[in-house]
Amino acid sequence: IYLGTKTYQEAWELQKQLFEKRAEGLIEDTLVLVEHAPVYTVGRAGIAATDAHSAAAEHAPTEIKVRKLCSVPVVEVERGGKLTFHGPGQLVGYPIFALPHHDLRRYLRDMERILMSTLAEETMLPARPCPETLLLEPGQLQTGVWVRDHKIASIGIAVKRWVTYHGFALNLRTDLRYFEAVEPCGFQGSIMTTLEREMGADANIE
């Protein structure tokens, strides 16, 4: 399902509806593709870090001001991971899939492989998983797709009753200033890149 441009809340509600139908066996595996208006989302790891500091929790931001751009809302969601950005020029995918193998690590690695192979086939870019030298913690499962030493795609999922929702965000021509205003997934904002920057050409969602 390609939604075009939708608010995060609209796509989130659709995900939850599709999730319930997939969990009940009423629909087949479904991939939702969408582009969002600017929004920051905070996953379970980011929420847990805030909750661990009660003073910080009282002042958790509901929006973040991005210099020379705009104020961007912050939404807490049930996916894994920390804070990241969604916005124009980014292709976001929400797989609503039943996992017969019940293996979350395998599912995450499968998603990485699909993104990497698609990038390699369509653009010839040297896409790969997170380089060992850039792991935030030794032995940590750091998801996402990288081109050289810059991150081009982020992954954050939720799974209930072995049905997946949330998913991936691939930066095509995203304004990187939105990332530079925060620490996306715990990294410095400057670590992020786009298809347009890496190819030196226009990268369209269509």
What's the rounded Cα separation, in Å, for the pair 204 and 96? Answer: 24
185 is catalytic: yes
Q: Determine which one of 130, 155, 185, 195 is catalytic.
A: 185
Q: How far is CA 19 from CA 163, 168, 197, in A?
A: 7, 16, 35
Q: Which of 22, 193, 39 is nearest to 99 (CA)?
A: 22
Q: Beta strands 127-128 and 63-65: pairing type?
A: unpaired
What's the rounded Cα separation, in Å, for the pair 173 and 88? Answer: 8
Residues in contact with 7: Cβ distance below 8 Å, sequence separation at least 6, in sequence order: 36, 37, 39
- The residues that are catalytic are 185
